[in-house]
Amino acid sequence: MSRRYFGGGLVRSDWTAAHWRRATGAALAERLAPALGEACATEGVDVPGESWALLAAARLENERRTEAQELVLRELGAAFEEAGVRPVLFKGLALARHYPARAARAIGDIDLLVVPGELPRAGEVLQAAGYEHWGGGGRLSARYPLTYGRFTHGDDEETVDLHPAWHEVTVDAGGDDVVVGDVREPLEWGEVGGSIWATLPPAVELYVTAAHAVLHSLRTLSLYLDLAVQVAKAGAATTEKASKLARSQGRDRHLRHAVTAAAELFGLEVESRHLTVPRRLGVPVALRLGYTGAGFRLLPSSLVMELAMRRGLRRRLDFARWVLGHGGRGKASGKSGRPAARLLSIVRGFRWFKGTVLRYRTPGSSPLRS
């Protein structure tokens, strides 16, 4: 992938079938299989039959999902416009357009950033299109969005997440600007999947991807490939602008950590001022991402790095309680709520560890997802 997407790296000619089985299993678990399959096909890499069959199947399935989501975007784009709702498309297909090949990025659900006051109308549009409200709170402080879903063609499911905010990122009431803390940037408009959508400006999109990689990296390493592709495409000026934006929000270490991990994972050349100290100290990227061995992750980097970034025991405890309890920072730190309720929320919060300790039964095996 490094050679295909970033012009560096060498093709491993000494790999055995066992090496490829392990790499393929890890790629499937980390949602990198479509990109790896596309890169191998483009670069003419000789992949053993069993592994190639899995990579090809993953890419074909991803192409099918990509086509299905593009149809959904065309359908919903017209419906939202008629209802006067102005959602912003981010993550997912918005990031896939940066890849050099179609359907190389693994596709999940559709994520829309919505003006908070337009959430009810956006939900009505989705329900009119056959979607049902599956969950989520949709509050400005919520960690999880409003999720709508529907089943098509039997058991196939399509899900749309409506975000009133993504951490400190919101859309202003006029629907023309994205707001990050005190910073405003005009939204961009362009074609995505055959329809016109508002998307985040490049620097904000890079900032969001970096924060997403750090704060939600228990999901997959594909987030770091997203970031590497964006950094390579955006160029030095956009990366510097994203870095300034991160500093204004106190997330400069988030961005540098994420960019460093992406650079080391995929062989991307990045200016040293955008990299973190651990790289210069020689700490392996696998350890910083919470891996204790090839294909086995003990803790996600979001927990490890957030704890490391916070100064003082009190701040670290507050963060750990917030993560485990899935609650507001004030409540999680013990400023409100009964002890029994706080304990219950902490126990419930252990689902946050799904995909980490239980990510693999054995290195390279299929992921255990609930």
* Helix, strand or coil, per DSSP, at residue 102: coil
pTM: 0.78
Cα–Cα distances in angstroms (integers) from residue 113 to residues 58, 90, 200, 214, 242, in the given order: 28, 7, 10, 20, 19
Q: How many CB atoms lie within 10 A of CB 370?
A: 6
d(CA 165, CA 290): 28
* pLDDT per residue rounded down to tens, the chain (370 residues): 888 888 776 666 788 998 899 889 888 888 899 999 999 999 899 999 999 999 999 999 999 999 999 999 999 999 999 999 999 999 999 999 999 998 999 998 999 999 989 999 999 999 999 999 887 765 554 556 888 999 877 677 889 999 998 888 999 988 899 999 889 999 999 999 889 999 999 999 999 998 888 766 555 688 899 999 999 998 899 999 999 999 988 888 778 888 988 888 888 888 888 887 665 556 666 666 655 554 555 544 445 555 565 566 766 666 555 444 433 333 333 333 445 555 555 554 444 444 333 333 333 333 322 2
Angle, vertex CA 38, rays to CA 34 and CA 42, nearest 5: 175
Cβ atoms of 199 and 89 closer than 8 Å: yes
167 Cβ contact list (under 8 Å, min separation 6): 211, 215
Cα–Cα distances in angstroms (integers) from residue 271 to residues 207, 232, 264, 325, in the given order: 16, 12, 13, 38
d(CA 162, CA 76): 13
Kindly tell me the burial class for residue 62, based on how many C-beta atoms sit within 10 Å of its own C-beta (0-12, 13-18, 19 or more): buried
Tokens for 111? 């994520």
